[in-house]
Chain A
Amino acid sequence: MAIHLVQRAQAYLPCSRARADGDVVVLLGEGVAAALIDANDCYASDTDVVARGLVGVLPTSIKRINDAQLVALCVEHTPVVTWTKA
């Protein structure tokens, strides 16, 4: 199973098309902006969510994870796929 790291909000759609059942998607950095519109069944970096003031407006389908949990997910999944482009 793959882990997809979405680093730009504009990269969420192409990522979601490439996502297979059982793959994990994590929103990072500016990518957390995708949490409010397109994204569902995703993780989001807690640091980036807090920095942007999104705590109170995040949909419940998005689970916040800390850096240690992110590292653990990356270790458990192969390949690690990074998404930055629309």
Chain B
Amino acid sequence: MNSKNILYLLQQAPYLDNRVFETFDAVLVAAAFDQRVSLLFRGDGVLQLLADQKPEGQRNLAKMLTSLETYEVDQIFADARSFEARGLKVADCAIAPELLSKREIAQLIARQDLVLND
């Protein structure tokens, strides 16, 4: 199978409905099928990264993020402005994203074969 550069733009806050989980599962499938997957968290999507999540009766996104290493997804990015606007730091996160400027985000997108929105 052709290996493509796929970027997922993750922009939704978690635990509204199943959408964030469905996107996460899609990321794992793409990675398991040998695609070169990158993730970019922006807007309220940066809240998906927070370390201290304690949802009741459903899967814990903070824990799920730590499986990405085993799926060899290591291109994890976040919009620096979305972090700044919310007073968040990389140290608040379950996995450490690389913070990108607007220009770096444009460069990241330009490198992709496919960009998917959640």
Give the B-binding residues of A (Cβ under 8 A): 8-9, 29-30, 33, 36-37, 48, 50-57, 59
Q: Is B68 an interface residue (CB 8 A)?
A: no
Contact A30 B50 (CB under 8 A): no
Q: Is B10 an interface residue (CB 8 A)?
A: no
- Determine the main DSSP class of A at the interface with B: helix
Residues of chain B within 8 A (CB-CB) of A29 are 15-16
Apart from A29-B15, A36-B47, A57-B88, 4 more pairs, CB < 8 Å: A53-B62, A54-B47, A57-B86, A59-B87
13 contacts between A and B (CB under 8 A): A29-B15, A30-B15, A30-B16, A33-B13, A51-B53, A51-B54, A52-B50, A53-B47, A53-B51, A53-B53, A54-B47, A56-B92, A57-B88
Q: Is B106 an interface residue (CB 8 A)?
A: no
The range of chain B's interface size is: 10 to 19
